A and B are shown apart, each in its own frame.
Chain A
Amino acid sequence: MADTVTFTLNDKNVTVPKGWTVMQAAKQAQVDIPHFCWHPGLSVAGVCRFCMVHVQGARKLEIACNLQATEGMIVRTDTPEVKEAHKWGLEFHLINHPLDCPVCDQAGECGLQDFYMQVGKYKSQMTRPKVLKPKAVDLGPRLILDTERCILCSRCVRFEEEVTKTGALGIFDRGDRAIIGTYGEEKIEHNYQENLVDVCPVGAFTSKKFRFKQRVWFLQEKSSICPGCSTGCKIKVHARTDRRTYYRVKPEIDETVNGFWMCDKGRDTIAHLNREHRLPQSQMRIDGKKQTVPTAQALESLRRAIETAGAEETALLVSAHYTVEEYEAFFHYFCDQLGVTKVYQWRAETEDRDSFDGILLRGDENPNTAGLRAAMRRVKGRTVPIKNEIATCVSKKPKVVVALCPEVPFTSPWFQEDLKQLAGISHVSLWTCRYEATEVAGITSWIPMKGFAEKTGHFLNYEGAKRELQEAFPSATAEALSVVEAVQQMAAIATITTETATL
């Protein structure tokens, strides 16, 4: 076929679409070509000169990132000449690099360090003083820049030009005096700052939030989906399971939705998962006093309340933070089996749902509006308009309310105010991941829920695309349940109760 080319890469036949570079082809073929300035999400700069490959018949080594693969081309990445170029390429990169790895956050995930271990491990020839440049520059609410560590690969400059289109970064001066920075003392304020930390192949850009917090080799990373808005970016959650502590979120490559990036708001979606913010165990208000109870007791009490009040006096208040599978189980149990018909959406009173920042962030701050909507359509037999229905719910004066609380605190600042509206209802059962802001008069029980990174299932994003969650980490609190598990447990209690009654 004319629209593909086949060439040889280290004796391996590789077929790629016409127009691909050797670098792209090597990625696909899983042949490692070390590089610093090339980034799959940015234009080709070709300046680090590290991705040198040998092309049969060429006068000199070529850079793989700007070399188009052509039919029959014979490329090697492992000749002595290539290895020599790597060794010296690394030496050149390290000449003015401070080599302060022991105090650098990037250590453990640093391109320079990795390649040093791979091709180097030799004593540097460089014995002269290094060029001194500004260190620890405060570049924005989330960013610190160390221009001495910078290897001038220009990835960050290209990111600002091509992705955020702010063009906020430049390279000033020339030669080895060149310095990355903003104009004057200007700060980078946009919502994509931490991508600069991600694209930086060394520790020049570091995250203020993550700075000096944790050595990266202690972290485990697992795939997940950002619950911060309806885009549903694919992410990696980094945590220490031994400490049950979440440290950071990074984007995971997903060509169809978020490409290589995610926004800064999305990076803040893990804080609430840590133990200190969690509802540790189920609680109930008994005789006006809040007490820790076994989850079974809280669920049984709910079950009895529904029985007493009747399904028609029971309402479900549901936020769009849960998975399609959770809604399915929830509605199956409460509506199909128990016969509850009062189902209400719970979301921000005012929201600019259709707004979009042109990159990733959407005004709908719920990860599964589409999933909830579809589930409600099934239950109600009609499509309901998307809006906050808590007032309607209260106006119907239900005796029992089961509330699936919004999970991510910073996208639901209205949460506590809304809760106050439920004060007069005789039994309110909050199913919640978070602990903070749930201390409101009139709540009967609190059931701890798992966070998005602790359960399987999927969200439907703004365009209805399936966004798969996996159980990345065990929950920071052992008692936490997914809605599916909570419903199963409640159904089991119900069965026992029924059996007891028959006896």
Chain B
Amino acid sequence: MEFTKILTRFENIPNSRALATYEKHGGYEAAKKALTQTREEIITLVKDSGLRGRGGAGFPTGLKWSFVPKTADTVYLLCNNDEGEPGTFKDRYILELSPHMLIEGMIIAAHAIGAKKAYIYTRCEFYDEIRWMNEAIAEAYQAGYLGKNLFGTNVQVDLDHYIGAGAYICGEETGLISSLEGKKGQPKLKPPFPAISGYLGKPTIVNNTETLAAVPWIITHGAAAHRAMGTEKSPGTKLFCVSGPVKKPGVFERPLGYPLKKLIFEDAGGMLDGKQLKAVIPGGASAPVLLPAEIETLTLDYEAIAAAGSMLGSGAVMVIPHDQPMMELLRILVNFFHHESCGQCTPCREGTGWLASVVQGVEEKTATPEDVEKLYQIAVHMEGRTICALSDAAAMPTKAITRKFADELKRSIRGI
């Protein structure tokens, strides 16, 4: 499978984070080029490239940008660098390798949507990465890549870095906006959508780090080059995070449509000695678990994984070994979502607590085998009922585990 590395092209290049290194490899040329183009030209190009949001939902990026009213006077661009989906560590990797790639992507995106002010929102646990990013922003200002009259045009882009404080929900785009407004990170009702009314009620575009970092390459190489990789509906490359008991866990940039088994068993070196594959979570903690039989020929693109009953999500591939008790896995999952539910919507607030409480009953030896079905039913009724997708994110894996591993769960309740 032929492909060019876009996001990880600075791998193995020494001192890759430095502006000088980035410039030496053509850095900020794309921004320079893009700023001579009209907003429409850029949006058309990004639409044509088929780039889809890499945060999890896979929404077409160019289309999202086009929703910003052309007449809006104040527009904001926000980079979602909150990376809280368990199993995901790809955006962190971009900051480690080339924070300037993100800055350049943001300059281009800001120009395309007419934003003079942009923010990167990073989770606070990324202490090192925050420092690297801050250094890169300072360098970019120093070099005149940020601020007023960029590249001799009248385009202005200011960039600031905002740090979260420990809340998974801030990875939801409107939760992120609330947080940036200095509030609890509670998602906002839609409509209105952020592109119409977002940060402080102004049109706002929120894009994932990986999405924005891919933009400069697309400007330089064109839509066709991007479309030449991946599948028809999921073009381009994607960062896949492989974790769990494999020999070489890590971030792998691969074209979309790449075979999952190849990723696990070749690129990530296969299972650790003595471990066999029991199941795979293909797209972060909210993605339903898949059985080995279900991944035989499965490819890593939005459509194929959806067809298999799961989702590509953030591209976090978590490998589950044969000796992993599924009840324990379920406990961790539901506790996580219970801990992170923002508490606004009743079905999520109460549903996540109920799931966690029922699972707690297993530990307390008060659970009955019927509780497996109860968990499933609770999950079913949490789905599609709330402002944001956290409730769904808790429901989907619960449904999958309670269905696919019902017998095992019942056995663990009986204590055998």
Contact = CB atoms under 8 A, between A and B. Distances in A.
Given A47-B346, A85-B385, A128-B360, A96 B341 contact: no
Contacts of B338: 175-176
A360 interface: no
Contacts of A89: 346-347, 385
A127 to B, nearest CB: 8
A85 B391 CA distance: 15
Nearest to B360: A128
B353 A66 contact: no
A399 B167 CA distance: 80
A89 B184 CA distance: 24
Contacts of A84: 381
A176 B345 CA distance: 10
B184 A175 contact: no
Determine chain B's interface SS by DSSP, over half rule. helix
B341 A176 contact: yes
Interface in B361-402: 361, 374, 377-378, 381, 384-387
A22 interface: no
A84 B384 CA distance: 13
A177 B351 CA distance: 13
A174 B184 contact: yes
B347 A92 contact: yes
B37 interface: no
B189 interface: yes
B191 interface: yes
A39 to B, nearest CB: 15
Given A85-B385, A96-B353, A176-B349, A66 B191 contact: yes
Nearest to B192: A66
A48 B342 contact: no
Contacts of A92: 346-347, 349-351, 354, 381
A171 B343 contact: yes
A178 B343 contact: yes
Given A47-B345, A152-B343, A175 B352 contact: yes
A131 B353 contact: yes
A44, A59, A66 — most chain B CB neighbours (10 Å):
A66
A52 B345 CA distance: 13
A174 B189 contact: no
Interface residues of A, number: 37
Interface in A43-72: 44-50, 52, 59-61, 66, 68
Contacts of B134: none
B358 to A, nearest CB: 6
B271 to A, nearest CB: 36
Nearest to B371: A127
B340 interface: yes
Given A66-B191, A128-B361, A175 B343 contact: yes
A96 B343 contact: no
B331 interface: no
Contacts of B346: 47-50, 89, 92-93, 151-152
Nearest to B387: A46
Nearest to B391: A49
Nearest to A170: B184
B339 interface: yes
Contact of A88 (B339, B342, B347): B347
A395 interface: no
A256 interface: no
B357 interface: yes
A47 B361 CA distance: 28
B297 interface: no
B184, B191, B352, B377 — most chain A CB neighbours (10 Å):
B184
Given A49-B386, A52-B385, A88-B381, A178 B349 contact: yes
B84 to A, nearest CB: 14
B343 A176 contact: yes
Contacts of A93: 346, 350
A91 to B, nearest CB: 8
Nearest to B338: A175
B165 to A, nearest CB: 12
Contact of B385 (A49, A128, A131, A177): A49
A80 interface: no
A125 interface: yes
Interface in A139-198: 151-152, 154, 171, 173-178
Contacts of A154: 344
Interface in B310-366: 338-347, 349-354, 357-358, 360-361
A96 B341 CA distance: 15
A131 B357 CA distance: 10
Nearest to B384: A60
A137 interface: no
Given A128-B361, A175-B338, A175-B341, A44 B354 contact: no
Contacts of B341: 174-176
Interface string A209-226: 000000000000000000
Given A44-B189, A47-B346, A174-B341, 4 more contacts: A61-B385, A151-B346, A174-B167, A174-B343
13 contacts: A48-B345, A49-B346, A59-B384, A85-B381, A89-B385, A152-B346, A173-B343, A175-B341, A175-B342, A176-B338, A176-B349, A176-B350, A176-B352
Interface of B: 167, 184, 189, 191, 338-347, 349-354, 357-358, 360-361, 374, 377-378, 381, 384-387
Closest 3 CB pairs of A and B: A176-B353, A88-B381, A178-B343
Interface of A: 44-50, 52, 59-61, 66, 68, 84-85, 88-89, 91-93, 95-96, 125-126, 128-129, 131, 151-152, 154, 171, 173-178
